[in-house]
Amino acid sequence: MDLFDKCRIEMVEQAMEAGIYPYFHKLESRQAPTVMMEGKRRIMLGSNNYLGLTSDPRVIEAGVKAIEKYGSGCSGSRFLNGTLDLHIQLEAELAEFIGKEACMTFSTGFQSNLGIISAIAGRGDYIFCDKENHASIYDGCKLSWAKTIRFNHSDMEHLETALQSVPLDSGKLIVTDGVFSMGGDICKLPEIVALAEKYNARVMVDDAHGLGVLGNGGRGTADHFGLTDKVDIIMGTFSKSLASLGGYMVADKRVVDYVRHTSRPFIFCASITPANCATTLEALHILKTEPEHVTKLMELAAYMRKGLLERGIKIRDSITPIIPIYTYEEMRTFKKAKELYDGGVYVNPVLPPATPPGECLLRTSYMANLTTELLDEALDIIEKVIKED
């Protein structure tokens, strides 16, 4: 069989032929509450720009000034010529904000999980992974060569059974999303921490969708539960609430130093650009000094949940700004996404493997600079599209 015989995806071809293929729409304006996509105004309910800071003039100015001072890129690894004073400043301020000893940055959030997990866990160790964790966690587990044991989503009985199945004195890492990126629900962190203490395991939280959303002033999932000191490793991204690109890890200094010197995805990759670093720093400063953005975000998410429930639209119970609308079947999901897009609302259609089979959904997500007027407009369009078959 020729290597390229696999290079066709029947579902994609069917969606294209039916005119309902929903991906790679061209964005022609900034990430904002309303955007121009392919010549038409759309209400943006599909961005992870939770605090609305990608268009903040202060963030933009910080990026421009960084390019003027440092140039467009670092042209090397952090190990060699790729460390700027900006990187050091960002790591110090982020560690202090979240409440950990030390921080290190990666070039992307996906790379952060690859780099952390593959460095921390190895042959003879065990990783316990929630089935709805992000794909980057799964790939980090594969790269580590540790034994990965998946537990049912937020099922603490299943997790405990899995922990009981391995030697008590073995190296064990429980890794979970803080806020699950598709369902929007929050991990059961108090129970996870209790099980980790009982079975001598370490805990890692992927807080990509938690920072800027949960906790005191947006400090994240661990802070939300008052458990920052009990979570061993927290990672996250700069591409969401912090309005840039990159990723990070915070932990005890000895753990961060170990990962710095052993993580291949960190050692052999160029550092984040000056503009990425400066815009992240400015967004972090805004988050620190203007926590009202977090409050506004949660108020708008609650407003939208209430509106969807009042219209009889099924959603998952949570408090976060990620609200999935379940469409179940793949082609129906494509069709509804296209109808919403044509009606003036952009959402993200999500299919397996990002969801379990038969649980396809339209992922809606919200920004702090949306308005209730825009949400009401979107609700009317969503109700009409979802209830029509």
Which residues are known catalytic residues?
A: 181, 209, 240
Q: Tokens at residue 220, please?
A: 């994240």
> What are the phi and psi torsion angles at 229 (to 5°)?
-75, -15
* Terminal-residue alpha carbon distance, the chain: 42
- 48's CB contacts (< 8 A; 6+ apart) are 209, 239, 240, 365
Handedness of CA 261, 264, 268, 273 (dihedral sign): negative
Q: At what angle do helices 57-70 and 274-289 cross, to 10 degrees?
A: 150
Indicate the SS3 state at residue 10.
helix
Grouping H, G, I as helix, E, B as strand and the rest as coil, residue 235 is strand
Contacts (Cβ under 8 Å, ≥6 apart) of 146: 121, 122, 123, 124, 125, 126, 127, 171, 173
C-alpha span between 25 and 28 (Å, rounded) = 10
Where do we find the tokens 């458990």? 227
Contact between 241 and 283 under an 8 Å Cβ cutoff? The reply is: yes
Please give the single-letter amino acid code of residue 76.
Answer: G
SS3 state at 130: strand
